[in-house]
Amino acid sequence: MIKVQKLTKIYNMGNVKVKALDGVSFNVVSGDMLAIMGKSGSGKSTLLRQMGLLDLPTRGRIFLGRYDVTRLSEGQRARLRLKHLGYVFQEYALLGELTAHQNVYLPGMMLGQRERDYKKRAAELLKIVGLGKRIHHYPKELSGGEQQRVAIARALINSPKVLMADEPCANLDTISSGRVMETLCNLNRDMKLTVVFVSHDPGDRQYARHVLTLGDGKIIEREGKIT
């Protein structure tokens, strides 16, 4: 489903070139639950941003299904992101002026779904992530864990093929982290959703079917049958 081939990302920090990713290659099969682990600065978030079409690699290719996303224009990548990818940010990244319900249905609205459909689907998704009774609350009225679950529901509104989560539990307490990770596992199991998540917490390995460990921009360990 996702093919990453010889992915290299170099950042120019003034006169210094920093190689954040160095020839990373792997495949993600449909329905997988993949964890990308590694220490801070290992390149795991950079990798997810390339896979999530938020940034372009310096070299290498990423295939999402039949699309070589590295060759698409900004507009095409935006459409692909909207239709086929869900992305959960480390810092919840909700829009503070919108309710949980509005935050979730906004991408559906952008995709041109019927109002009744996206509103109903948003309410259902919030129920799935355990926030059925808080749909009209604003982000500031929700806890960190609840906000992250709203962000997960938002990522699912357009029924994506892949859900990517960048350190989804980084700012959460243990109980909230557990609920968020269980939510991701349930979605992977019940909805056959491909989930790729980034974490630096070794404890999160338990939720993944496969684990890639990065170090200095390279894959240093592959756990499970990952090619």
Partner 1 sequence: MIRSLRVACLLAFTSVTKGNIRIALLTMLILILVALNLVFVPGLLDGLAWGANDKLINTYSSDIVIESGGASHFIPDVGQLLSEIRQIDGVDSVTARNYIGAEIEYEGKYLGAAVYGVNPDTEREVFTIADSMAEGNYLDADDVDTIVLGIQIAGADDTELELYARSLQSVHAGDTVTVTYTNNIVKEYTVKGIYYTEFIQTDLQSHISEGEFETIAPYLSDNASAVYVKTAEDADIDEITRRIMYTTEGLRITTWEDHAGLVDSMTESFEIIEIIIDTVNLLVAGITVFIVTYIDVAHRRRQIGIQRAIGITPAAITLSYVIRAVFYTVVALSLSMIIYRFGIIPLEARYPFHFPFGDVFLQISPFVLIRTALLLFAVSVISALLPVRGVIRTKIIDAIWG
Min separation Cβ 143 and partner 1, Å: 19
Per the CB < 8 A criterion, the answer to whether 145 and 175 are in contact is yes
The distance of closest approach from Cβ of residue 202 to partner 1 in the complex, given in angstroms and rounded to an integer, is 25
Cβ contact 157:122 at 8 Å: yes
Q: What letter does residue 216 receive in the DSSP assignment?
A: T
Distance CA 189, CA 150 (A): 19
Looking at the Cβ atoms of 95 and 220, the one nearer to partner 1 is 95
Nearer to partner 1, 29 or 109 (CB): 109
Q: Taking the chain, what is the end-to-end CA distance rounded to the nearest angstrom?
A: 12
Q: Which of 26/105 has CB closer to partner 1?
A: 105
Residues lying near partner 1 in the complex (CB under 8 A): 49, 52, 54-55, 78-79, 81-83, 87, 89, 93, 95-98, 102, 106-107, 109-112, 138, 154-155, 158
**Minimum CB separation from partner 1 for residue 83, in Å?**
8
Find, among 223, 212, 214, the residue nearest to 35 by Cα: 212
Angle among Cα 73, 199, 108 to the nearest 5 degrees reads 45
Closest to 122 (Cα-Cα) out of 164, 146, 150, 84: 150
Report d(CA 77, CA 89) in Å as an integer.
18
Q: Which is nearer to partner 1, 146 or 166 (CB)?
A: 166
Closest to partner 1 by CB, 29 vs 98, is 98
Adjacent-strand bridge partners of 210: 34
Question: Shortest distance, CB of residue 179 to partner 1, whole angstroms?
Answer: 22
Give the shortest CB-176-to-partner 1 separation in angstroms. 21
CB of 51 to partner 1, least distance (A): 13
Q: Which of 175, 197, 70 minimizes the C-alpha distance to 130?
A: 175
4 vs 48, beta carbon nearer partner 1: 48
Query: Closest separation between CB of residue 94 and partner 1, Å?
Result: 8
- Alpha carbon 145 to its chain centroid, in Å, reads 16
Of residues 158, 144, 153, 105, the one with CA closest to residue 126:
153
86 versus 208: smaller Cβ distance to partner 1: 86
